[in-house]
Structure 1
């Protein structure tokens, strides 16, 4: 088994770039996963692992067998190298290089005739994206679609804040126009969380094919969503402000849809 002990090793320096730079992830079609839970979820989600790197001071050979029986794709690294690559302060001593997935809308596969979809337009903050993915996983929605993405899905902050739910959700990306056309082609009702021309969210019937669409706290949803929606919806508020964190709003709306569906 190969051993790398120096943080200045050219391969390790490439991995640091892979961790830090979206450009490198897109160019190589790979990304880094850190942690036992996250790697397990990636495997469960059908991701292909190219290489496993582990620090024997933190992660044993026996644990490695939980991921693979083929040690030819495994690299032993020193603790110094691991600390160079690790993103979190407290981790279990294992990382993986994985292949990215194609998140084209055409690759979305609904296994039900009555899908529930969560859509977020142009989310920028990795923490918010991670929280949205956790909400989607908790509700077991049929897909998450990111419109006009500003951050690549394999940003380590998204992987960390989603606690690996970036791997458990079926995710698609596209422009707002592409997504609206996709939803209409699939006969999925569009419910946009927006202040204008809206009705209370709980007055709507989400038991039919439904897409819940949320925008950023700063700018909300674009005019195109407002004009193309089946119905604009609002969460009534009783305080002084007229908006809330996007992941909180998405959770309220998605779980109302789940309640109406009997949590099926």
Structure 2
């Protein structure tokens, strides 16, 4: 294995990686992003992401472990402790990072391979932690796709990668504006069930065995009127406490797993 050594935090390569870590604009401009951790890198490879560079700090991640990683990438770079601390973003340290090429997630590229797909749609989620949790739920339920309408942050934000525990790489994900996504769902004859307070009935009374999209909005403002106007049926999770909403990722999990239960997977 041929490796390059970088010990200075002022090296141009390291400065670019710092930009990739910190700035969404840089990730969009270059089409590259940073992955940290062996599990996340392994899931990216499983999801057929192309790695451009692997960087490792040998005191935490050995060359032997690197050789065991089935990664076909061009550049292998050994880095010093100072460089690793500069570009790492996780509190736990594993000593390995990778630079990967992003994918095109436009809704026009989404293909559903089942006759009665189960899709999770999230409109305008803002918090990376919530997006990551939604992706973990989607992975656990093995939904056919996750669609993000009007995204407020890019999918390769380090906090999304971290909070999704790498599920951002293994889920089938598409993005677009609300109108485009509604058009896609109609074109594919997918029933739209919107989690909303208005004109809603309890979620467990609905039949989710046919092609189904579960649509959730933000906790603060819920779903836009365009979704409510195009809903097959608005659904609600009955609550017995003082509040009328819950964390979006929790709500998504309840609704998705009810659909899975009805489909005989639980």
Q: Residue in 2 aligned with 1:263? A: 265
Give the drift of 1:69. 6.7
- Structure 1 runs of 4+ aligned residues shifted over 4 Å read 68-72
| Structure 2 unpaired stretches of 5+ | none
Question: Aligned partners of 2:71, 2:133: CA distance in 1, in Å?
Answer: 34
Q: Which stretch of the first structure deviates more once superposed, 99-108 or 39-48?
A: 99-108
Q: Residue in 1 aligned with 2:143? A: 141
Give the drift of 1:104. 1.1
1:181 and 2:189 matched = no
User: For 1:68-118, what per-residue CA distance to the aligned partner results, in whole angstroms no more than 9, with x for missing partners?
Assistant: 476851011011101111001212100000000100112222221110000
TM-score (norm 2): 0.97
Q: Which stretch of the first structure deviates more once superposed, 84-93 or 68-77?
A: 68-77
Give the drift of 1:26. 0.1
**Residues 192-231 of structure 1 correspond to what in structure 2 (within 5 A)?**
192-231=194-233
User: For 1:30-75, what per-residue CA distance to the aligned partner results, in whole angstroms no more than 9, with x for missing partners?
Assistant: 0000000000000001100000001111111111122347685101
1:130 and 2:132 matched = yes
- Equivalenced residue count is 264
Q: SS state of the match for residue 99, structure 2?
A: strand
**Residues 72-83 of structure 1 correspond to what in structure 2 (within 5 A)?**
72-83=74-85
Question: Aligned partners of 2:258, 2:91: CA distance in 1, in Å?
Answer: 37
TM-score (norm 1): 0.98
Q: SS state of the match for residue 122, structure 2?
A: strand
* Preserved CA contact (<8 Å) 2:214 2:255: yes
1:94 and 2:96 matched = yes
Q: SS state of the match for residue 165, structure 1?
A: coil
For residues 70 and 130 of structure 1, do their structure 2 counterparts lie closer, same or farther at Cα, with a shift above 3 Å needed? closer
Question: Aligned partners of 2:114, 2:164: CA distance in 1, in Å?
Answer: 25
For residues 64 and 179 of structure 1, do their structure 2 counterparts lie closer, same or farther at Cα, with a shift above 3 Å needed? same
Question: Aligned partners of 2:69, 2:211: CA distance in 1, in Å?
Answer: 37
For residues 230 and 70 of structure 1, do their structure 2 counterparts lie closer, same or farther at Cα, with a shift above 3 Å needed? closer
Question: Aligned partners of 2:187, 2:35: CA distance in 1, in Å?
Answer: 35
For residues 72 and 103 of structure 1, do their structure 2 counterparts lie closer, same or farther at Cα, with a shift above 3 Å needed? closer
Q: Residue in 2 aligned with 1:165? A: 167
Q: Residue in 2 aligned with 1:57? A: 59
What is the RMSD of the two structures over their aligned residues, measured on CA atoms?
A: 1.2
Question: Aligned partners of 2:94, 2:121: CA distance in 1, in Å?
Answer: 33
Q: SS state of the match for residue 121, structure 2?
A: strand
User: For 1:142-168, what per-residue CA distance to the aligned partner results, in whole angstroms no more than 9, with x for missing partners?
Assistant: 000000000100000000011111011
| Structure 1 unpaired stretches of 5+ | none
